[in-house]
Amino acid sequence: MNAVIGNRGTLKVSSPKEIGEVLIKNRFVRSATYEGMASEDGKVTDRLVELYKNLAKGGTGLIITGYMYVQQIGKGAPYMTGIDSDGFIPGLKRIADTVHQYGDGCKVAVQLVHCGRQTSLVETPLAPSAVFEPVINKMPREMTIREIEETIEAFAEAARRAKEARFDAVQFHGAHGYLLSEFLSPYTNRRTDEYGGNAEKRMKIVEEIYNRTVEKVGKDFPVLIKMNVSDFLEGGIDLTQSKKIAERLSTLGIAAVETSGGMFETRRYDKNLTAYRTKIRSKDKEAYFLPYAREIKKVINIPLILVGGIRSLDVIEKILAEDSADFVSLSRPLIREPDLPNKWLKRTDKPTADCISCNACYKSLMNGGVRCIQKERTETINQ
């Protein structure tokens, strides 16, 4: 049933919409969020299943899992979930089946990633080009053609495993400075062969991954992508380039685009240019990628998912009513309130999320898995 608030009529966010061949029951998307709850060797744990159970029960239309590595050398963080072998399929089925059981029509997609040069777990990471990564303090090695071909196959095989594990879709992580983002960006891709040198060649690996994936899972299994609207780095992707990338992806067959921005290095200069922006304390600071998304929306014919500092229901309604985006994607608010979509859909006195964008949840990752530390502090004080 569509939600109605006061005399404002039916909420746009409660209306269903398709992504590819899959109907999403509302416009709420849980943006991929690294959980830090897998076992040391990347297997699904009971805690991980419980996290997705709570998200599914909370009313989100589509859940995108935390990033899963498609190759061991592409693993970027401890306790990260793996999808690089068939041995992971039984555990992954637990997540998909749990979401479908408790989610009242909720759909779930796996985010697939190779972390490229942005990993502290690999002594010599792989990257499109040997461009020093200053945050992790690593000099990567330029990938050979054979290694690129192996990575293409690894992404496609991971998508096949996701489908076998009964997920509804996959999302390629092509943002935030990870491997696909590195290939797309002229800042990190300085190759002069068939995988670099101009915008068309920098996109080649993404196109080949998509085509190989379709060979394995079919055209009816939606493939989404998360991409940067800008790297916010001199010499990196800017809006002009990201519009061309998005337009090409739209014609390629990608089912939906989620817009984001920044790389690890961007945080060194200005954290407020990344997806980790803090101090979102007024509505004018919400949806900080919206101006870029509006431009992307003009050149694509597939759904656009907007992420970045969305905290208020009326902001969401305005975005959707203006057709600036087709879905809204939340990360940090759902760490604190996994049932926030239901609260918004069922209540008239819940205008804004409790999340204060303090990023304490980010710090919790290295201490037992993602959670809202600020909420824990508040509950302790109130006891």
Residue 68 falls in which region: left (phi positive, over 0), alpha (psi -120 to 50) or beta? beta
| Distance (Å, whole) CA 137 – CA 289 | 28
Task: Report helix angle 290-297 to 239-252, nearest 10.
Answer: 50
| Distance (Å, whole) CA 257 – CA 241 | 15
| Distance (Å, whole) CA 332 – CA 228 | 19
Give the side-chain half-sphere CA count within 13 A for 183. 27
Length of the chain counted residue by residue: 383
Instruction: Summarize the chain as % helix, strand, coil (round to 5).
Output: 40, 15, 45
Count the helices and strands in the chain (H runs, E runs). Answer: 14, 13
Place of tokens 């204060």: 356
At 220, which amino acid appears? D
Nearest in space to 108 (alpha carbons), one of 188, 162, 181? 162
178 is catalytic: yes
Q: Which of 34, 52, 67, 178 is catalytic?
A: 178
Place of tokens 């269903």: 16
How distant, in Å, are the alpha carbons of 66, 261, 270, 319 from that of 276? Answer: 16, 10, 10, 21
| Distance (Å, whole) CA 168 – CA 151 | 23
| Distance (Å, whole) CA 180 – CA 126 | 12
The residue ranges of DSSP E strands in the chain, in sequence order, are: 17-19, 22-24, 28-30, 62-64, 68-69, 107-113, 126-127, 141-142, 169-174, 223-230, 256-261, 304-307, 327-330
Task: With H, G, I as helix, E, B as strand and everything else as coil, classify residue 243.
Answer: helix
Active-site positions? 178
